[in-house]
């Protein structure tokens, strides 16, 4: 244990990915990953700062948090950094009126936003809403613009649900990028601004924070580019081939969140 712990020193804040770290999502609502409810409780008891940093865009934060509370997690909406609210800030700042290609359950997050006569497209993890007709409609809005603006709530390739892996928003984002010869602006992980806002909300500098995630590129790589340490859990969408990733090398691998918390709390 002792030689593992160099990465755990001088930590004041933790950023936790949610899906694949706290729980595996699924049509049945999903299941908590063993030890993770207790691990969150221990982090809070230790006095470490904590943010839940999620790319979840299939539900409003309220609904998402209620589901996690139902599984026993000590979590509140105020502790969650998520793409939709960040996207709304950008839309307001730039007077953008979105055509939404998102999950029905996410639409309430955009209630305050003017959507008439759209001048951009916002794409999220729309799941069953990713029909040919809906993708084609978003394509037509974009291709009809002189300077197309595509905002994507993440760029994940796939995620894990209880019944297996699922295509994520990044695959559909790439389709629209390719069709319209446009580069999407990504809100959410791995965007630097997204991690920076989570750090600012905690009031912790990057070198005193650790990100824990199951996505080698978006969680681990994204956090490391911001100057944080990052751990990959061997839960969620983790696959053994992640350990030979050509570009991203986590500061450590841990079997699960509970193990990471054990090591971090030993160093406090």
User: Does residue 182 share a domain with residue 91?
Assistant: yes
One domain for residues 175 and 92: yes
101 and 181 in a single domain? The answer is: yes
Residues 6+ apart with CB under 8 A from 72: 32, 37
Is position 69 within any domain? no
Domain residues for 3?
Answer: 1-55+194-266
Residue with tokens 């649900």: 161
What are 8-26's pLDDT values in tens digits?
Answer: 999 999 999 999 999 999 9
Measured between alpha carbons, how far is residue 76 from residues 52, 63, 248 in Å? 9, 11, 31
Tell me: do 87 and 153 sit in the same domain.
Answer: yes
Q: Residue 1: pLDDT above 50?
A: no
For the stretch 158-190, pLDDT in tens is 999 999 999 999 999 999 999 999 999 999 999
If asked whether residues 212 and 178 sit together in one domain, one would say no
Give the residue from 169, 186, 203 where a domain finishes. 186
The CATH code of the domain that includes 16 is 3.40.50.1000
Asked if residue 77 is part of any domain, the answer here is no
Residue 161 lies in a domain: yes
Confidence of residue 3 (pLDDT cuts 50, 70, 90): low
26 and 93 share one domain: no
User: Is 78 a member of any domain?
Assistant: no
Q: Which residue has the tokens 């750090």?
A: 199
Quickly list DSSP for 212-247: EES-IIIIIIHHHHTT-EEEEESSTT--GGGGG-SS
Together in a domain, 40 and 10? yes
Give the residues across from 122 on adjacent strands. 100, 151
* 30-55 confidence digits (pLDDT tens): 999 999 999 999 999 999 999 999 99
Q: Does residue 95 come out as left (phi exceeding 0), alpha (psi in the -120 to 50 range) or beta? A: left
Q: How many structural domains comprise the chain?
A: 2
The model's pLDDT over 211-246, given as tens digits with 9 standing for 90+, comes to: 999 999 999 999 999 999 999 999 999 999 999 999
């Amino acid at each position: 244990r002792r030689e593992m712990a160099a990465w755990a020193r001088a930590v004041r804040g933790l950023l936790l990915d949610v899906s694949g770290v706290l729980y595996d999502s699924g049509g049945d609502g999903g299941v908590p990953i063993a030890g993770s409810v207790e691990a969150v409780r221990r982090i809070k008891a230790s006095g470490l700062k904590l943010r839940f940093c999620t790319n979840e865009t299939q539900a409003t934060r309220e609904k998402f948090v209620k589901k996690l509370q139902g599984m026993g997690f000590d979590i509140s909406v105020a502790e969650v950094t998520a793409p939709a609210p960040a996207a709304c800030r950008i839309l307001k700042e730039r007077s953008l009126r979105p055509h939404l290609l998102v999950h029905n359950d996410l639409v309430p997050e955009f209630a305050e936003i003017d959507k008439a006569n759209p001048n951009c497209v916002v794409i999220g993890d729309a799941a069953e809403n990713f029909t040919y007709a809906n993708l084609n409609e978003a394509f037509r809005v974009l291709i009809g613009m002189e300077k197309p603006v595509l905002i994507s709530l993440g760029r994940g390739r796939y995620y894990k649900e209880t019944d297996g892996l699922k295509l994520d928003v990044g695959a559909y984002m790439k389709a629209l990028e390719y069709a319209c010869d446009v580069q999407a602006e990504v809100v959410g992980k791995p965007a630097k601004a997204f991690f920076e806002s989570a750090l600012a909300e905690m009031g912790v500098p990057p070198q005193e924070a650790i990100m824990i995630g199951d996505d080698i590129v978006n969680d681990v790589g994204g956090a490391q580019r911001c100057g944080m340490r990052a751990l990959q859990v061997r839960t969620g969408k983790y696959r053994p081939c992640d350990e030979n990733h050509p570009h991203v090398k986590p500061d450590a691998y841990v079997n699960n969140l509970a193990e990471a918390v054990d090591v971090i709390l030993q160093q406090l």
